[in-house]
Amino acid sequence: MKKALITGINGQDGSYLAEFLLDKDYDVHGIIKRNSIPENQTARIQHIYPVIKNNLYHADMCDMSSLLSVVQRVQPDEIYNLAAQSHVRVSFDQPIYTLDAIGRGTLNLLEVVRLTGATSKIYQASSSEMFGNSIDTDGFQRETTPMNPVSPYACAKLLAYNLIKCYRESYGLFAANGILFNHESPRRGTSFVTNKIVIGAVKIKKGLARNLALGNLDSTRDWGHAKDYVKIMWQLLQLDNPGDYVCATGQSHSVRELCDTTFRKLGMDYKEHVFQDPRFLRPAELNDLKGCTKKLAGVIDLNFDYTFDTMIDEMINYWMEKL
Ligand code: NAP
Ligand code: F7E
């Protein structure tokens, strides 16, 4: 039985990845950051909690000793480093913590693996945010596109990305970067734009709200489904050699289009309800994202179960029932 350790196991991706690995008969372990209300924190993993409850450990990416203790205890075959302060807008409010949790946190983990001589393979949750506003002439971002981050979050992710490459090349660690473009689901944090729009539209439909305040409607994103993307994380650690790979759908939509699609599916016109609130604008914006998966498709079979439409349908159905 293979052992996996997931940092950020209670996050959107961590919860889907834990399910995926349990289905593959992995012994799944995870770290949880201490929270004053632990009940809320395990909401996304409640359904698998009975199976993994003895494999959850309090640790923090900023606390190397806690990571050392967990890695020594679990001795994982695979480590999935998903823990992060993952909100781009919040990273402007908490830049130092964001850098600590992501940049120094990844270095803490790499040092633990190096110094203990652990043979764990490492997956690093890198991000399309690292590209900033660089776009190749064909309109896509790919592994070779220059990385020019435009937020503290993206700067921190770029540091972590480079550390993974550095430790791979310097010490021969099996360390892989998945450069994942935005991926969503009903489990997405409710302050990210997809779930915020779906929840807002469902509330308006049900008469629970009248309007929805958003920031920039003109940026475009390449939105996939988290369930499809966690499978790729695992596949990257099953390759013969570690590398850095873009994972995306290759299609992009604007935030405005996302509003239009969601409200239309609910029989409404977004223009009658959505307004712009400067509170949700960012000091700097990443305007357009669209990923090219040619390199990834060269090493694995790329089959996504979800499309943009079926993903929105799933999110709408979830919130229509829940609210
Ligand atoms: P998420 O839902 O925000 O989950 C982040 C996880 O990290 C949570 O479990 C969180 O715990 C934990 N965490 C935060 N700070 C920590 C710390 N200092 N020490 C230990 N744990 C900490 O994010 P996600 O959407 O699942 O994304 C997973 C990873 O992929 C993140 O690294 C994110 O930056 C990256 N990524 C995401 C996307 C995307 O579109 N979703 C795209 C590219 C890359 P609490 O909930 O208890 O705070
Ligand atoms: O914003 C615009 C906003 O916060 C998407 C993270 O998972 O993906 C995510 O980062 C777009 C931006 O995601 C609101 O300005 C408009 O242009 O959903 P988001 P993100 O910033 O793209 C990357 C790949 C990651 O790695 C990150 O961890 O939507 N937008 N109005 C808004 N965004 C938010 N959150 N809220 C608004 O009201």
Give counts: helices (H), strands (E), the chain.
13, 13
pLDDT tens digits for 246-266? Answer: 999 999 999 999 999 999 999
180 lines ligand 1 (CB under 6 A): yes
Query: What's the rounded mean pLDDT across residues 137-157?
Result: 98
Q: What share of the chain in percent tops pLDDT 90?
A: 99
Enumerate the active-site residues.
127, 129, 153
Amino acid making up residue 135: I
Residue 135, class by beta-carbon neighbours within 10 Å (0-12 exposed, 13-18 middle, 19+ buried)? middle
The answer to whether 74 and 102 are in contact (CB under 8 A) is no
Q: Give residue 311 CA to ligand 2 midpoint distance, Å.
A: 17
Residues having CB closer than 6 A to ligand 2 are: 86, 88-89, 127-129, 181-182, 191-193, 196, 214-216, 219, 221, 255, 280, 282, 285
Confidence of residue 62 (pLDDT cuts 50, 70, 90): very high
Q: Using CA positions, which residue lies closest to atom 24 of ligand 2?
A: 182
Residue minimizing CA distance to atom 15 of ligand 1: 84
Q: Give the model's pLDDT for residue 39.
A: 84
* C-alpha dihedral (149, 152, 157, 162), degrees to nearest 10: 70
Rounded distance from Cα 230 to ligand 1 centre (Å): 13
For residue 183, what are the β-bridge partners? 224
Give the residue from 176, 167, 12 showing the smallest Cα distance to 78: 176
CA neighbor of 247 nearest in space, from 186, 280, 290: 290
Rounded Cα distance between 108 and 64, Å, is: 5
What is the mean pLDDT of the segment spanning 50-69?
Answer: 98
pTM exceeds 0.95 for this model: yes
Q: Which atom of ligand 1 is nearest to the CA of 157?
A: 34
The CA distance from 228 to 295, in Å, is 17
Banded pLDDT at 40 (limits 50, 70, 90): confident
Q: Which atom of ligand 2 sits closest to the CA of residue 86? A: 28
Residue 55 CB partners (closer than 8 Å, separation 6+): 27, 28, 29, 30, 74
What is the predicted pLDDT for the residue at 112?
Answer: 98
Give φ, ψ of 148 to 5 degrees: -130, 75
Kindly report the average pLDDT of the chain as a whole number.
98
Query: In sequence order, what DSSP letters do the residues of 253-288 get, joined into one string?
Result: EEHHHHHHHHHHHTT--GGGTEEE-GGG--SS---B
Ligand 2, closest atom to CA 180? 24
* pLDDT of amino acid 38: 86
